[in-house]
Amino acid sequence: MSTQLLPKDLPGAQDIILHKTTAVERIYAASIAEANGEEGALQRLSPADQLVNQQIEAAYALLSNYHTFDQAWPLLAKQFGISRATCYRRLADAQNLMGDLKKVRKEGRKAILLEFARKILQLALTQRPPDMRAALAAMSFEAKVAGLMRADSGQEEAGGAGGSNTSYVINLTVAGSSKTRTLNLMDPDSIQEADYELVLDAVEQGVFGAEQMEQMLLERKEGA
């Protein structure tokens, strides 16, 4: 009976350098986990990683307030007692990490809005008889939101400017409040995180049921 060799027993195994994740990679992974609904992911980082995260957040705050690296590093050094070289690393980390996270959040927002558009289309088509005008409007709405996906192809939208004067908005009225929030779908970065959560809840829970859709379509027809 042959003896099974473990990886560490193979010839030259001791010379293989295994990749170890960096603090920034672990912070990024934890941030993505939290963005996907995993609460406490950042808090579960080691104390050392949490300190690095605090330094990166402070660096990003300085950069967001229009500080240059040369202006920001002395403030970081004073706050955390770290060297100039470390300050510059944290500032670079802040630029790269926060930029990536912003992109991920933006893609997530677009996915939510697309799901919302498809929900409207589905409900319009389930009416008896189907309301084709509403369905076509929903399809146009979906196409417009899907067009936002071109942001990374060198056609970054500037506040919704895309050669069209058409506006696409969602009006949200929160239960127990008389105020209506208007979400500008052409400028997704301007929408608050809390409002996106309300849209997501509406999509997931199907609060726009057949009766609500029928009432909405009736009101639209009466107002036409």
Residue 145 has a pLDDT of: 66
Taking alpha carbons only, the member of 121, 145, 156 closest to residue 135 is 121
pLDDT tens-place string over residues 86-128: 999 998 888 888 766 666 556 666 666 777 777 777 887 787 7
182 has which bridge partners?
A: 171
Domain boundaries, the chain: 14-99, 105-146, 169-206
Residue 161: φ, ψ to 5°: -75, 120
- Residue 91 has a CB neighbour count (10 Å cut-off) of 24
Q: What angle do CA 22, 28, 30 make, to 5 degrees?
A: 105
pLDDT one digit per residue (tens) for the chain, 224 residues: 445 544 555 555 555 544 567 888 898 888 888 877 788 888 999 999 999 999 998 988 888 776 788 888 999 999 999 999 999 999 888 888 876 666 655 666 666 677 777 777 788 778 777 777 777 777 776 776 666 545 444 544 444 444 445 455 666 666 666 667 676 666 666 666 666 666 656 555 555 555 555 555 555 555 54
Across the chain, mean pLDDT equals 70
On the 0-12 / 13-18 / 19+ scale of CB atoms within 10 A, 21 is exposed
User: CA–CA separation, 165 vs 160, rounded Å?
Assistant: 9
Residues 6+ apart with CB under 8 A from 106: 151, 188, 189
| Tokens 């042959």 belong to residue | 2
What the block records as the tokens of 151 is 């942001």
Question: CA-to-CA distance for 140 and 124, rounded, in angstroms?
Answer: 13
How far is the CA of 4 from the CAs of 24, 78, 96, 176, in angstroms?
38, 56, 45, 67
